[in-house]
Amino acid sequence: MGKKLLLEKAEVPGIKGYEVYRREGGYRSVEKALKMAEAEVVEEVKKSGLRGRGGAGFPTGLKWSFIAKPEGVPRHLVVNADESEPGTFKDRYLMEFIPHLLLEGMIVSSYALGSNDSYIYIRGEYDWIADILQEAIEEAKQNGWLGNNILGSNFSCNIYVHRGAGAYICGEETALIESLEGKRGNPRIKPPFPAVKGVWDRPTVVNNVETIAAVVPIINDGGEEYSKIGVGKSTGTKLISACGNINKPGVYEIDMTISVEEFIYSDEWCGGIANGKKLKACIPGGSSVPILPANLLLTTAKGEKRLMNYESLSDGGFATGSMMGSGGFIVLDEDQCVVKHTYTLARFYRHESCGQCSPCREGTGWMEKILLNIEKGRGKMSDIDLLWDIQRKIEGNTICPLGDAAAWPVAAAIRHFRDEFEWHVLNPEESQRRNYGLAGYAEPLAIATV
């Protein structure tokens, strides 16, 4: 069993409440951090090598060091709890079952950043979890961990929960900031970056739930100790949301040294492909990252076993690799239709586009329609090349990464499974029968989003 830093106490009875959490060593990192200088806390996070766990994988300590410190201007920490990436549900697990871990990480991070008022921007569909967090905040206040002059120090901190309206676009940090300010959640043009001009035009750091929770073991054990876990630039542990055609879907904490093959087939993790089927493909980092066929999923372009970490999953670029992303690990067995799943994802991104950028607004809808025609047996061979051309003109041409997120699944599906697209075009009648669940065709995966 791999080392656990975030989920070690997850199954302790009553860990959701303050008394048990404190008894199990909770809030020690706050006690330790408040005896350090702010810069020393930032330095420990830098030493740890912690990368953002929300998808981009940017070094956390480096991001913190960018925050501007104009005299007399408040700074803010905003936690991105808008976990809307299809296939990703690990932040929900942390907030629902160990809410004080997030709060503890926020207090330490707020101290390091000089944020006296910090915010949790939570996904609209996570309504019951917002209530859990609010209750935990009240418990922390009552026990002196929030409010004025925490533990007799000069540091004061309050945490507020802001409920979103269920918009995927608000997972992008500047759209999140716009929504937090009470505006429509449209991404901002950068620069200026949030570290200079964020919420209410004040210096702001936006970090994901898992990222902030990881600050707790980093301060407790030290950044150097944390960096010894994992491999290369993939340090520490990573939470993975595993779903699809596997025997044991769930949230797992790995140390990023295990292979993809071990993660899928080991009884400790996913337990193999369900119903004795063969592995066909996998989307390893949430719906926005490129799908990989089984052979490229298990082996890198260099012929080595692919590992569950940032570098190995991206080995070879998108031609032969993918991304760690948000850790949403979606497994497809041999009966699944890549065309149908690509259409499902295209429909999602069309629906969630804010419409601000023409390539994304028009392109996502265009791809959805073409994919539906192909899936229903109404497609033409030229449609496949048209899809390729559309995604190419979306990628890199929008204000925020949602355009890329919509383009990459389509590009990867055509790159690796073009024969399936051609089959649908050449066999329209069979394609229609399969589309309506006949001829023993597998039903689409229920990709976890809540």
442 pLDDT tier (thresholds 50, 70, 90) = very low
User: Within a 10 A sphere around the Cβ of 40, how many other Cβ atoms?
Assistant: 12
Please state the pTM of the whole predicted model: 0.93
Q: Residues with Cβ < 8 Å from 266, sequence gap 6 or more?
A: 258
Task: Confirm if 49 and 63 have CB atoms less than 8 A apart.
Answer: no
Rounded CA-CA distance 197/161 in Å is: 21
Q: What is the pLDDT of residue 2?
A: 65
177-215: pLDDT as tens digits: 999 999 999 999 999 999 999 999 999 999 999 999 999
Buried b (16+ CB within 10 A) or exposed e, 230-239: beeebbbbbb
Rounded CA-CA distance 289/412 in Å is: 9
Q: What is the pLDDT of residue 230?
A: 92
Task: Give the SS3 label for residue 204.
Answer: strand
Tokens 């009553």 -> residue: 14
Tokens 């959701």 -> residue: 16
265-279: pLDDT as tens digits: 999 999 999 999 999
Domain boundaries, the chain: 18-228, 234-333, 338-435
Q: Tell me the average pLDDT across 138-162.
A: 97
Task: Confirm if 368 and 410 have CB atoms less than 8 A apart.
Answer: no
Q: Which residue has the higher pLDDT, 230 or 444?
A: 230
Rounded CA-CA distance 80/164 in Å is: 11
Peptide bond into 194 cis (omega under 30): no
Q: What is the pLDDT of residue 117?
A: 98
**Partners of 204 in the β-ladder:** 76
State percent of the chain over pLDDT 70. 96
430 pLDDT tier (thresholds 50, 70, 90) = confident
Task: Confirm if 73 and 256 have CB atoms less than 8 A apart.
Answer: no
Total residue count of the chain as it appears in this document: 450
Residue 298: half-sphere exposure toward Cβ, Cα within 13 Å? 12
User: Within a 10 A sphere around the Cβ of 30, how many other Cβ atoms?
Assistant: 24
**Longest C-alpha distance within the chain, in Å?**
74
Strand intervals (E) in 29-163: 76-81, 117-122, 158-163
In this structure, is the dihedral angle defined by the CA atoms of residues 395, 398, 404 and 405, taken in order, positive or negative? negative
Q: What is the pLDDT of residue 115?
A: 97
414 has a pLDDT exceeding 60: yes
Task: Confirm if 334 and 277 have CB atoms less than 8 A apart.
Answer: yes
CATH number of 234-333: 3.10.20.600
59-118: pLDDT as tens digits: 999 999 999 999 999 999 999 999 999 999 999 999 999 999 999 999 999 999 999 999
Rounded CA-CA distance 205/68 in Å is: 10
- Here the tokens at position 75 are 């700074």
The third-level CATH classification (topology) of the domain covering 338-435 is de novo design (two linked rop proteins) (1.20.1440)
322 has a pLDDT exceeding 90: yes
441 has a pLDDT exceeding 70: no
Rounded CA-CA distance 140/439 in Å is: 57
Q: Tell me the average pLDDT across 33-52.
A: 96
57 pLDDT tier (thresholds 50, 70, 90) = confident
The secondary structure of residue 284, as a DSSP letter, is B
341-375: pLDDT as tens digits: 999 999 999 999 999 999 999 999 999 999 999 99
Tokens 């533990």 -> residue: 151
Q: What is the pLDDT of residue 1?
A: 52
Q: Residues with Cβ < 8 Å from 39, sequence gap 6 or more?
A: none
301 pLDDT tier (thresholds 50, 70, 90) = confident
440 pLDDT tier (thresholds 50, 70, 90) = very low
444 pLDDT tier (thresholds 50, 70, 90) = very low
Q: What are phi and psi of 352, to 5 degrees?
A: -95, -5
Q: Report the helix count and the strand count for the chain, using DSSP H and E.
A: 19, 11
Q: What is the pLDDT of residue 390?
A: 97
- Here the tokens at position 381 are 């061979």
337 has a pLDDT exceeding 90: yes
Q: What is the pLDDT of residue 435?
A: 60
448 pLDDT tier (thresholds 50, 70, 90) = very low
Closest CA to 361 of 396, 410, 402: 402
CATH class of the domain at 18-228: alpha beta
Q: How confident is the prediction for the chain on average, in pLDDT? A: 93
Q: Which residue has the higher pLDDT, 265 or 55?
A: 265
Q: What is the pLDDT of residue 105?
A: 98
Q: Do domains 18-228 and 234-333 have the same CATH topology?
A: no
**Which of the residue ranges 160-164, 247-251, 433-437 would you say has the lowest mean pLDDT?**
433-437
In this structure, is the dihedral angle defined by the CA atoms of residues 56, 59, 60 and 65, taken in order, positive or negative? negative
Distances, alpha carbon 283 to alpha carbons 71, 171, 294, 313, 333, in Å? 46, 19, 10, 11, 12
Q: Residues with Cβ < 8 Å from 450, sequence gap 6 or more?
A: 89, 92, 125, 126
